Amino acid sequence: MAFDIEHYRIDGKKPFNINTFSTNGKKEIAESKEKRNAILTALSPELDRLQDLLYAEHQRKILIVLQGMDTSGKDGTIRAVFQSVDPLAVRTAYFKAPTTNELDRDYLWRVHNVVPRRGEMVIFNRSHYEDVLVTKVKGWINNEEEKRRLQHIRDFERLLTETGTVILKFFLHISKDEQRTRLQERLDNPEKNWKFNLGDLDDRKLWDDFQQQYQRVINKTATDYAPWYVIPADSKSARNVIIMKILLQVLNGLNMQYPKVDTEGWPDTIE
């Protein structure tokens, strides 16, 4: 089956309904976990090549945003999809609860401070979208403030794209049942106890509210210049392959070139 990036892409041209998107992507990639992992392994060298090309060309900037409910696999995606790339030109930024210093500034300050430089790929584990998701669901901002922030975000992302940044926003779409399974594993497995947070259970009680807010935010911020990709995330291996294929298709579409170097006067061989 040919891979269709448009199946996952949301660019604001049509309304996004979260309930019509599957959380299970197994059959979209391959029937078995072993085959899906083999596909990911086979594709990894191409991402490494494109990342090297990005760094050498030193013109574009790549921003990858990972958003999703707790346990949707943001950390796992980073470990699996980017395992082969050169760490010198790839950076991950984590956005937890803002510090006192960050709260003294506008909410986008800490985000703008870590966007990619030329030739760099930056992965946001959570992002500026926390400031219109968690804050709205928990009642920390009102409708007027939410409206202002959504406009800020659209303008911010336009600024980034108009100055050479390619933005890929991934919503890791997980089911409530799968989240329960993963949270239970964190409780039962001593090696995963450290991942468990009682606050995750509070957010789980607000599941429907979060789903509605994700739908609203994606509809308000999906644009042609900064589209969302809705990724079925119940299967970790399928999730990883889908994200990898989208990355490769978008990066190859940039037609990046190694810089031409004046070699006049260079020796033919090194003594």
Q: Are 121 and 107 in contact (CB under 8 A)?
A: no
Tell me, what CATH number does 188's domain have? 3.40.50.300
Which bin fits 126, alpha (ψ -120 to 50), beta or left (φ > 0)?
Answer: left
Q: Is residue 261 part of a domain?
A: no
Which bin fits 68, alpha (ψ -120 to 50), beta or left (φ > 0)?
Answer: left
Question: What pLDDT score was predicted for residue 28?
Answer: 74
Buried b (16+ CB within 10 A) or exposed e, 250-260: bbeeeebeeee
Number of domains in the chain: 1
Q: Is residue 213 part of a domain?
A: yes
Question: What pLDDT score was predicted for residue 89?
Answer: 81
Q: Is residue 265 part of a domain?
A: no
Question: What pLDDT score was predicted for residue 86?
Answer: 87
Q: Is residue 9 part of a domain?
A: no
* Cα 170 from Cα 62, distance rounded (Å): 13
* Cα 169 from Cα 152, distance rounded (Å): 16
Q: Is residue 266 part of a domain?
A: no
Q: Is residue 263 part of a domain?
A: no
Q: Is residue 19 part of a domain?
A: no
* Cα 72 from Cα 270, distance rounded (Å): 52
Question: What pLDDT score was predicted for residue 100?
Answer: 93
Q: Is residue 130 part of a domain?
A: yes
Helices (H) and strands (E) in the chain, counts: 11, 6
Mean pLDDT in order along the chain per 10 residues (271 residues) = 88 96 81 90 96 96 98 97 89 93 95 97 97 97 98 98 98 98 96 92 96 98 98 96 97 97 90 86
Question: What range defines the domain where residue 54 resides?
Answer: 33-254
Tokens describing residue 220:
């308000």
Q: Are 47 and 240 in contact (CB under 8 A)?
A: no
pTM of the predicted model, to two decimals?
0.95
